[in-house]
A = this chain, B = another copy of it.
Amino acid sequence: MTTVFARHCASRTALEEIGSKWGILALLALGEGAYRFNALRRRVDGVSERMLSQTLQTLERDGLVTREVHSTIPPRVEYSLTGLGEKVADSLRGLADLLEGSVAEMSAARERYDARGD
């Protein structure tokens, strides 16, 4: 684990794509199971169509997400995780759980910090 720190290395690029604002949330949501586009959009509160589409394309390109098109009317597209995507999502869920469990601690830290600096 030394290459992540290098500017243009593949793992750092991947880390930035996954860690991007919507990447984490999309992966966490898909960790719950497959989603259709608009269902996923509703699950990830606040994401625009454009950003979700863009995020999913990136994740698909990186081999973390599978896009399955059913050419029915109306069209139906399902997104799900690949094997690698599952592993990444598991890791992210660990982080998310940790943070959810530490909300109080972080909130206290923030108050202390703000009080100190005035």
Contacts and interface: CB of A to CB of B under 8 A. Distances in A.
Interface of A: 1, 3-7, 10-12, 14-16, 18-21, 24-25, 28-29, 43-46, 60-64, 84, 87-88, 91-100, 102-103, 105-110, 112-114
Contacts of A5: 25, 28-29, 43-45
Given A4-B28, A28-B4, A21 B16 contact: yes
Top-3 shortest CB links A-B: A63-B109, A19-B19, A61-B113
B62 A14 contact: no
Contacts of A10: 103, 106-107
18 contacts: A1-B97, A4-B96, A4-B100, A5-B28, A10-B106, A11-B103, A14-B99, A15-B24, A19-B24, A61-B109, A61-B114, A62-B106, A62-B109, A84-B105, A84-B106, A87-B98, A88-B98, A91-B95
A20 to B, nearest CB: 8
Q: Give the secondary structure class of A's interface.
A: helix
Contact of A14 (B19, B21, B64, B106): B106
A13 B85 CA distance: 23
